[in-house]
Amino acid sequence: MSLKLGVPSKGRLMDKTFDWFEKRGIHLSRTGSDREYAGAVEGIDGVSLVLLSAGEVPRELAAGRIHLGVTGTDLLQERLPLWEQQIDEIAPLGFGQADLILAVPRAWVDVETLDDLDAAAAAFRAHHGHRLRIATKYHRLVREFLRAGGVADYMLVDSQGATEGTVKNETAEAVADITSTGETLRANHLKLLSDGVILRSQATLWRSRVASFSASEREALERFLDLVT
């Protein structure tokens, strides 16, 4: 069997991951038709490519179905509560940098910090009869962050995309999402709280601590680590 390397199957994360490995002598490519999720590895023996969603890489690493994988720190920490027990970080890749942040409407001039948000949330509940809604797909990380920050009077609403639009659509009062340039926040009249950075993320190469390695896979891993670290 070969060492299995899981890489995002599309978009900027796939392209930049392919470039990163190319610079280290490992040529990754998609094979077959545009729509077929098949891949090839050249420049190193005994390694095979598994193309999958960035969001599924953590689960596959934790299940030991792939030995190595590339995905963002945000997705890994959100999906795997005790990730350090299951996964080792091999190398940050220097792209896919984005911050998971908490943002509120720019018009909320009295809300600049988590303490302000806590006060606003209590007032919001008293006034509206339901808790302030925060839209996000990062439920676990946001809950942990708000617990540590002493904010209690809120509820999370799930948003799997276009999260910044939920405030305008009146399905949430605040959002917790990834930002890179800040353009999307600005365009949607939202502002970051001054102490509202939940996590700084970037694309990272990870190794499963759970996967079993045959003798030939272990040799392939050594060759792989020589090239990439």
Ligand X SMILES: O=P(O)(O)OC[C@H]1O[C@H](OP(=O)(O)OP(=O)(O)O)[C@H](O)[C@@H]1O
Interacting residue ranges for ligand ATP, rule: CB under 6 A: 8, 13, 53-55, 72, 74-75, 96, 98, 178, 180, 201
Complex with ligand ATP: residue 113 or 180, whichever CB lies closer: 180
The reply on whether position 99 binds ligand X by CB under 6 A is no
The reply on whether position 129 binds ligand X by CB under 6 A is no
Distance CA 148, CA 73 (A): 20
Out of 71, 136, 179, 208, the only residue in the binding site for ligand X (CB under 6 A) is 179
Q: How far is the CB of 85 from ligand X (least distance, A)?
A: 28
- SS3 percent helix, strand, coil of the chain, rounded to 5, is 35, 35, 30
Stretch that binds ligand X, among 78-86, 115-123, 146-154, 160-168 (CB under 6 A): 160-168
Q: Pick from 60, 30, 167: which is nearest to 111 by CA?
A: 167
Q: Any idea which residue has 């365009």 for tokens?
A: 187
The reply on whether position 33 binds ligand X by CB under 6 A is no
Out of 183, 200, 216, 225, the only residue in the binding site for ligand X (CB under 6 A) is 183
Out of 162, 168, 171, 195, the only residue in the binding site for ligand X (CB under 6 A) is 162
Complex with ligand X: residue 118 or 177, whichever CB lies closer: 177
Distance CA 91, CA 228 (A): 8
Out of 56, 74, 173, 177, the only residue in the binding site for ligand X (CB under 6 A) is 177
Complex with ligand X: residue 12 or 27, whichever CB lies closer: 12
Complex with ligand X: residue 75 or 221, whichever CB lies closer: 75
User: Distances from the Cα of 137 to the Cαs of 62, 126, 178, 220, in angstroms?
Assistant: 20, 27, 10, 36
User: Distances from the Cα of 9 to the Cαs of 45, 65, 157, 167, 175, in angstroms?
Assistant: 21, 16, 28, 31, 27
Locate all alpha helices (DSSP H) within the chain, ordered by sequence: 11-22, 57-63, 73-79, 83-86, 114-128, 139-148, 165-168, 183-187, 215-228
Q: How far is the CB of 37 from ligand ATP (least distance, A)?
A: 11
Stretch that binds ligand X, among 120-128, 162-170, 201-209, 219-227 (CB under 6 A): 162-170
Q: What is the dihedral of CA 19, 63, 202, 37, to 10 degrees?
A: 40
Site residues for ligand X per CB under 6 A = 161-164, 177-184
